[in-house]
């Protein structure tokens, strides 16, 4: 699947994905940990926000929800009316440099081809202020696949693996990297990474 196919796939499955996700789970508590690391009244970008119910809804008012699926953003407009919603691509974020205090990326980067993950992390680093924090899903394995029948449609997943992802984060300028495990929206145990951008 190419990039436009992934967008179309998300337009197709966004409503079903929103319906199927558990509204609770320990990954939501990671937001409290993230906010404790940030200055007062932070600006947070949720990259790949989808319907916004799981992550964006727990961020401070005025946070930015970005997704390249129009269907996902339409759902987020109903779920999180206080958020600023932007349709865009993680490969070229439509934000100025040094404008956000944190980026969250829950289960989103692995919908980009793994050879482009370095560009995604470089974009996260570009829009973060020095000392800003990334909270993202950390992949467990190396794979690239299209899952048919996923949420009633098909979906592209791609990752270079855990260790290569940590290397890519360091190469993009992140340090103070730490990991933790939480329960994700579909009930699986998932590893997450906190990474601070070098000052």
Chain Cα centroid distance, residue 53: 13
Give pLDDT tens digits for 88-136.
999 999 999 999 999 999 989 999 999 999 999 999 999 999 999 999 9
Chain Cα centroid distance, residue 123: 13
pTM higher than 0.85 = yes
- Interatomic CA distance for residues 25 and 95, integer angstroms: 30
Reference 109, options 28, 197, 192, 175; nearest CA is 192
Q: Other CB atoms closer than 10 Å to residue 143's CB: what's the count?
A: 13
Strand partners, 84: 64
Beta strands in the chain (DSSP E): 44-47, 64-67, 84-87, 100-105, 128-138, 142-150, 153-160, 174-183, 189-197
3-class SS of residue 102: strand
For the chain, the structural domain boundaries read 3-197
* CB distance 89 to 61 below 8 Å: no
Pairing of strands 189-197, 174-183: antiparallel
The pLDDT value recorded for residue 116 is 94
Across 181-196, average pLDDT: 81
Give pLDDT tens digits for 48-101.
998 888 789 899 988 999 998 888 899 999 889 989 999 999 999 999 999 999
Chain Cα centroid distance, residue 88: 13
Greater pLDDT, 185 or 75: 75
Place of tokens 């202020």: 129
Q: How many CA atoms lie within 13 A of 70 on its CB side?
A: 2
Give pLDDT tens digits for 133-158.
999 999 988 988 877 877 877 877 89
Supply the CATH classification number for the domain 3-197: 3.40.50.150
Place of tokens 């997704």: 67
Categorize the per-residue pLDDT at 184 as very low, low, confident or very high, splitting at 50, 70 and 90: low
* CB distance 53 to 78 below 8 Å: no
């Amino acid at each position: 699947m190419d990039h436009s196919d992934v967008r179309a796939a998300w337009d197709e499955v966004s409503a079903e994905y929103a319906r199927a996700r558990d509204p609770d789970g320990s990954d939501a508590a990671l937001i409290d940990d993230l906010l404790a690391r940030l200055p007062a009244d932070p600006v947070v970008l949720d990259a790949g926000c989808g319907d916004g119910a799981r992550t964006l809804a727990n961020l401070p008012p005025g946070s930015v929800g970005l997704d390249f699926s129009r269907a996902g953003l339409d759902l987020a407009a109903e779920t999180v009316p206080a958020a600023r919603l932007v349709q865009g691509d993680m490969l070229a974020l439509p934000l100025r440099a040094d404008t956000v205090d944190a980026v969250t990326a829950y289960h989103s980067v692995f919908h980009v081809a793994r050879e482009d993950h370095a560009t995604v992390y470089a974009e996260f680093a570009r829009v973060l202020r020095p000392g800003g924090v990334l909270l993202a899903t950390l992949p467990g394995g190396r794979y690239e696949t299209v899952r048919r029948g996923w949420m009633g449609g098909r979906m592209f997943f791609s990752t270079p693996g855990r260790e290569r992802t940590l290397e890519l984060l360091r190469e993009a300028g992140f340090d103070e990297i730490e990991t933790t495990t939480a329960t994700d929206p579909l009930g699986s145990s998932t590893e997450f990474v906190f990474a601070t951008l070098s000052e």
